[in-house]
Amino acid sequence: MRPTPWRVYFTLGVVTLVVYFLLDGVAQATLYQTFGAAALIAIVVGIRRNRPSRLLPWLVFATAVLLQLAGDLTYFFYENYLHVLAPFPSAADAFYLSSFPTFAAALFLMARAHVPERDWASVIDAVIIASGVGVLTWIYLVVPYADDPGLTLLERTTSIAYPLMDLVILTATLRLAVTPGTRVPALNLLGLSFVVYFVTDICYAVMLLEGTYRSGSLIDAGWLFAAVLWGATPLHPSMRKLTERSSSHLENRLSAKRLILLAGASLLVPGVMGVQIARDQPLHGPVVAAGSAVLFCLVLGRMFGLMTDLSASVDKYRQAIGRERTLRRTGAKLALGQGRDDIHAATLDASIQLASGVPNVRASVWTTTGGYLAVGATAGHQSNMVKHRSASLSELSQSWTTALLAGRAFRVEDGVHMEKLVGPARKENALIVPLNVLDRLAGALVVEANTPFPDGLNDAFDALASQVGLSLEGVALTQDLLERKSEARFRSLVQSSSDVILIIEPDATIHYQSSSATRILGYKDEEMIGTKVMDWLHPDDCEVAVAYIGGSIGRSGAVITSEWRLKRRDDSWVQVEVTCNDLLLDPNVAGVVLTIRDISERKAFEEELTRLAFHDSLTALPNRALFKDRVEHAIARIERTGELVTVLFLDIDDFKSVNDTMGHVTGDCLLRAVGERLSQTLRPADTVARFGGDEFAVLLESAKSEKGIDDVAKRILCELCLPFALDGTDVFVGASLGAASTGSPQMTADELLHDADIAMYTAKGRGKNTYATFDTGMHTAALERMRLKSDLQRALDAQEFVLDYQPIVALRTGEIRGIEALVRWQHPEHGLIPPMEFIALAEETGIIVALGRWVLQKACLQGRLWQIEFPGHESLVIHVNFSARQLQEAGIVDDVARVLLESRLDPRCLCLEITESVLMHNREDSILKLQQLRELGVRIFVDDFGTGYSSLSYLDTLPIDGLKIDKSFVDHMGSGLDDSTLTVAVIKLSRNLNLQPIAEGIETAEQAQRLRGLECDLGQGYLFAKPLTPEEVAGRLTLSASRPSGSSRK
């Protein structure tokens, strides 16, 4: 068996403990410190490895161990660096005493997480035991310290604090130990550690009183062993269960072991008194009296809890007896019933009595007719309001239908669903009981109330339903027997049945077959007579059939079915369901009746359902459930083979563009083509699956090396780069691919899929058509991204966003014509974060809408203030970036109008900069909203033109006023005409379309001069100004306002 981490740690700790006593001096003292440090490291490793659901108790536990370690190091410093005995009390005592309540807090947090409800029984039991031990501690430790004249007040207080704090830890340990639930190994380790620690502390205190303690003596083994257990506990996998909610029912448990333990604790006080009297020692009357009083009150409280539970149990027993009497009386009424009306009346009367403790109960019996449930009889509160109700079975929820067919009572606590059945008169809670006759759903008993039904009613109503079903079955059989007036009628019914009916002897010889055998099996009338049933069965089913027929002869009770395969005349096999009825004693039949039903279609349907449950309906590839199952089996095999199991997670690049531009039908064709190409690229032993959307996964079994995995990944990417012929058009797509391999046989399928998913998103972040192999750094990066996303949720409320402003100048005069608002995130931990690192996250989470609204409001208010403060800049234009996600908001136009009204900014002084991506999301709606914004007077510019969608066709249709030329084009300006051809074309195009061009990212005078020569009037960039604070912008506006008109900027 492979050693587990906690066993390795525990073994090393015990070995180190032995080595400790073989050393002396500084070496021994130094080794002492390693126990606490190792325990602290083991706790951190255990938390990261086992990932408990609740982290706080373990963090508090680690803090307590850290305080213990601090105390040890302080003593070590005194004795081995200062070479003096540590004073008493010292800083080390402060650390030690601080660790006690911290340990207790950790234990109480674990108990609270394990059982969130108020578990007074466990608390009282823990306090009873601790109180008994506390009296001993007080008499033999606290009193001697308190009476010691050689101690100062501070020394006396510190000495007394140690045993009292030990009692606090003992109480917390007992509280955790007696909580309900399974006793896991981690709890045993933790409990043992504190028991050892408590005993060691008590022994140490006694030795100090007697003056026999020496540093490095055997008593140190107790503290060191407790430290080893502290480290081993979080390394054990069961540590997670210490902070998980217990599934055990909370009740006042009092087992024999606990009773003995509580009795022993209660007898400690009189036992101490007896010892003192026997030894002629002075009695500690007040202490003994106080301890006895406390224990008496605790035991009294415990007994009160037991009596309360006993009373509740008696009430339940009485209710059960009452229900049993009701069922017996109802059984007698049902036996005397002459028809359905009598049965319904007895059923309703019993239902009202069974639910007698619930107010305003209404009961109704529903019968099935032609796929509908209809009320047959009602009784109770407001019964007339549902008397004529009916409901289609197909309109009920799938869960209801399944529960009805299962034949067991079920509860409904949703008034909305009940309204479909009983209409507006529905009540909030209901108990629905199926009524079966001859193993078929014949109706239902519905009991309603506005308050929840008590526990235990389900079984009572199931028993009632069984009685009612038998009575209805008796009525049905009676009616059926009355209708069978002759053998001719019986044969007529048999011959017209769609099922094959065979009557056989006890030895399985057939002496009658119905005519439907010709239609289902192909055999002519009476062709099977005289043969045995086994002659027509599949060889593998003969043994089952013999046992089934033999078990059915002479058996009474519920009818049991069996499934066989029968041979047709054409030598094919048909799946059939067989029902066997023993009518050997019936003189009209004198045989065993086999009713055989063809279930081929049902079996095919079940197989199809199974296939659909584990395969993707679009591509016919395995789905997530089947893929995960295969990954689990592959991981289970690697322990024997030693090979790698690798999962490749694949996402198609630009699939949304294909869907949006070419339609969803073409997108589906692309997904099928990708699935086929992946299957052709890989080996038959590998598994290709579709997870949904444009996500695929590949399972590589028996991978020999990482190089082989890299080769497969590259081959997949190369294959997907080839064009796909869709609707006569070659479509090019790529893929982002993440790979993850098993690190150990203990790795789960979920962990492997999660690692591959992280690697895929890492590859997508690096660019399109690439792949990445998972490493632990990716997991850290993903966590950081999640933390940043979480921080983003509160950043807006915390007012962590700030706006910088970059001027837009006239290239010929240098005059400031406009200012672009640029948002920054002032993160409390990471400092100033640029927009490129959080805007995508904001769009992904939807916060971009609220953030954009804030930026717009802030920028408009600031722009209006500048217009008022600086004469000559009354027409200063404020540029605000507008995302495609904002434009999708239904009320965005009204939001912009409201901000303009509140800020009193002229709409002509507001310019919204959109990106070309708006055309990728509901183009018609985007154009309509842009037109409405322009009708307000707002100007619209296309930002970063030429880097995105870049279709010239939309320039005529989009209601825009100008283009902002991306910095990537401006960078080529000034280095020669050939390098700026695209920039020249964009400027000329904008002029021809009567659009205003603005150049971004101007950094050199040569670029500015070249743009002026091309008649580009406006620009922005570091040549003129970096993004500025509002105060710095005010300074620039002051200079701009004081500059004479027409002056130029060098």
Domain-embedded: residue 1050: no
Task: Please indicate, yes or no, whether residues 583 and 476 belong to a single structural domain of this protein.
Answer: no
Average pLDDT estimate for 846-857: 91
- CATH for 730: 3.30.70.270
Domain-embedded: residue 439: yes
Average pLDDT estimate for 334-362: 80
Task: Please indicate, yes or no, whether residues 1006 and 965 belong to a single structural domain of this protein.
Answer: yes
Phi, psi dihedrals of residue 791, rounded to the nearest 5°:
-65, -35
- CATH for 435: 3.30.450.40
Task: Please indicate, yes or no, whether residues 191 and 140 belong to a single structural domain of this protein.
Answer: yes
- Residue 106 pLDDT > 80: yes
- Rounded distance, CA 107 to CA 90, Å? 27
Beta bridge partners of 646: 700, 741
- CATH for 994: 3.20.20.450
**Mean pLDDT comparison of 211-225, 352-366, 948-962, highest-scoring range:** 352-366
DSSP annotation of 705: -
Domain-embedded: residue 403: yes
Domain-embedded: residue 1045: no
pLDDT in tens, 422-438: 777 778 788 888 888 77
> What pLDDT is stored for residue 807 in this prediction?
96
* Helix ranges (DSSP H) in 423-486: 457-483
Task: Please indicate, yes or no, whether residues 493 and 450 belong to a single structural domain of this protein.
Answer: no
Give 1046's pLDDT tier (boundaries 50, 70, 90): very low
Query: In terms of pTM, does the model score above 0.85?
Result: no
Task: Please indicate, yes or no, whether residues 170 and 30 belong to a single structural domain of this protein.
Answer: yes
Higher pLDDT, 985 or 718: 718
> What pLDDT is stored for residue 742 in this prediction?
83
Domain-embedded: residue 790: no
pLDDT in tens, 38-80: 989 999 999 998 888 889 999 999 999 999 899 888 888 888 8
Task: Please indicate, yes or no, whether residues 529 and 598 belong to a single structural domain of this protein.
Answer: yes
Task: Please indicate, yes or no, whether residues 466 and 503 belong to a single structural domain of this protein.
Answer: no
Q: Is 526 left (phi over 0), alpha (psi -120 to 50) or beta?
A: left
Portion of the chain with pLDDT greater than 90, in percent? 15
Task: Please indicate, yes or no, whether residues 59 and 201 belong to a single structural domain of this protein.
Answer: yes
Q: State which of 237, 266, 295 marks the end of a domain.
A: 266
- Residue 802 pLDDT > 90: yes
Q: State which of 233, 266, 299 marks the end of a domain.
A: 266
Task: Please indicate, yes or no, whether residues 662 and 763 belong to a single structural domain of this protein.
Answer: yes
Domain-embedded: residue 755: yes
Task: Please indicate, yes or no, whether residues 714 and 577 belong to a single structural domain of this protein.
Answer: no
**Mean pLDDT comparison of 93-107, 640-654, 691-705, highest-scoring range:** 93-107
- CATH for 142: 1.20.1070
Beta bridge partners of 965: 945, 999
Task: Please indicate, yes or no, whether residues 656 and 643 belong to a single structural domain of this protein.
Answer: yes
Domain region containing 357: 337-482
Domain-embedded: residue 358: yes
Task: Pull the structure tokens for residue 779.
Answer: 């997991």
pLDDT in tens, 190-214: 888 888 888 888 888 777 777 776 6
Task: Please indicate, yes or no, whether residues 503 and 477 belong to a single structural domain of this protein.
Answer: no
- CATH for 533: 3.30.450.20
> What pLDDT is stored for residue 949 in this prediction?
47
Buried b (16+ CB within 10 A) or exposed e, 324-350: eebbeebbebbeebeebeebbebbbbb
Q: In what order do the strands lie in the sheet with 410-412?
A: 390-392, 372-380, 362-369, 440-449, 429-437, 410-412
- Residue 1045 pLDDT > 50: no
- Rounded distance, CA 655 to CA 671, Å? 9
Domain-embedded: residue 50: yes
Q: Which helix (H) or strand (E) holds 400?
A: helix 398-406
Average pLDDT estimate for 918-942: 84
User: How many structural domains compose the chain?
Assistant: 5
